[in-house]
Amino acid sequence: MAGSCEISSLFSNYISAMYQPEEVPPDPDVLTHLGDDDNLPLPLSNLHMPTETTGKPTWYGEMPHCWSKSQVLEWISYHVEKNKYDASAIDFSCCNMDGYTLCQYTRDQLGLIFGPLGDELYDRLHEITSVPDELAWIMSVLRNEEVSQESLLDSNPLDLGNSCSQEYLEEMKLANLFSQPDLGYFSGAMSPDSSGSVTGTMSQSPHSQDSGGSDLDLDPIDMKHCPFSDGDYKKDLKKRKRGRPRKASKENRDCLETKKSKHSPRGIHLWEFIRDILIHPEMNEGLLKWEDRREGIFKFLRSEAVAQLWGQKKKNSSMTYEKLSRAMRYYYKREILERVDGRRLVYKFGKNSSGWKEEEVQERS
């Protein structure tokens, strides 16, 4: 449990460091009458207050397992107020617990402590803690990389694989692949299910012309393990042909096969990935936002960051918003998405998409 706590903490810190959301959750109103209780470990007047710097409650964005006692109280206070619940019916001496303890309680136990509010608290708690696969995966990315919080905060916001980056950076330098300008930034994240196998590659700027100048479209990292890699990779910067370059021949691919699992399932579709981020706002700080939930209209707030996450998901560190958006545009034809004219970074779910409507989300949970 300590592990998951650390991960979720990492996640929230990572998100906080990475994004500065345009929107904040509704500020919990000031709770004026929670009743007097000498057993309270902290003055209630402070519990529900948003943090000074962010304007958000302190529990927001953190996994419940990691909440401190004060955050637990703050969260309970928030729901007391939200549900207009009579706080005098609550034995606040039982609230002196941290998030981990809170998460251990069953519905019945919460019902005993909080009465009718217990059900509500239980549901809300499990809403937060039931992390969808895709977001759990995002966390696992961080876990696999064993990213320190310090390095997260120090890192380039889009450098998702910073712990690996330095190592690979050194390797890349050795391979003389960084001697050319404009090769873009570096991202060496390990794939979540690679069991430590290296899939780190060099990211390229969206418009770099050298991303596929050769017919052998190999990852530089992988290339250095191949006997035919001589460091002259991308020497030839001649204008490339249209379309995606051919991948390596089978012979050359065998060289790469040691790096990648032979059978990786296709997994979820891009639009589902986007949808899942959207329908879990507690995990989506500043990536995407609903413009009109009823209509299914949403907007990319951090387009490149979403692209990076998608790239990580697909073990493709060179994913960019430009490429992601091309895939999004293919959905127009299939009516999974609809055009929203005149608005940048704005898309709308079409009639062939599903699972994003509030009713559907509620049904699934």
Binding residues for DNA (CB under 7 A): 204, 209, 211-212, 217, 239-240, 242-247, 253, 262-266, 269-271, 303, 310-311, 314, 316, 318-319, 321-327, 329-330, 332, 334, 339, 341-342, 344-346
Nearer to DNA, 239 or 364 (CB): 239
Smallest distance from DNA to CB 138, Å: 16
Nearer to DNA, 29 or 257 (CB): 257
Radius of gyration of the chain (CA): 24
Nearer to DNA, 33 or 241 (CB): 241
Nearer to DNA, 63 or 324 (CB): 324
Smallest distance from DNA to CB 310, Å: 6
Residue 72 CB coordination number (10 Å): 22
Nearer to DNA, 284 or 320 (CB): 320
Strand pairing of 186-187 and 201-202?
A: antiparallel
Smallest distance from DNA to CB 266, Å: 5
Tokens 């050319």 correspond to what residue?
180
Report the alpha-carbon distance of residue 86 to residue 207 in Å, rounded: 59
Report the alpha-carbon distance of residue 9 to residue 62 in Å, rounded: 6
Smallest distance from DNA to CB 170, Å: 24
Smallest distance from DNA to CB 92, Å: 48
- Burial level of 348, CB count in 10 A (0-12/13-18/19+)? middle
Spell out the residues 6+ positions from residue 91 whose beta carbon is closer than 8 angstroms to its own: 113
Q: What are phi and psi of 297, to 5 degrees?
A: -95, 130
Smallest distance from DNA to CB 190, Å: 17
Tokens 């958006």 correspond to what residue?
325
Sign of the Cα torsion 342, 346, 347, 348 reads negative
Nearer to DNA, 126 or 247 (CB): 247
Tokens 């207009």 correspond to what residue?
84
DSSP state, 282? G
Smallest distance from DNA to CB 1, Å: 33
Q: Count the residues in the chain.
A: 365
Nearer to DNA, 81 or 159 (CB): 159
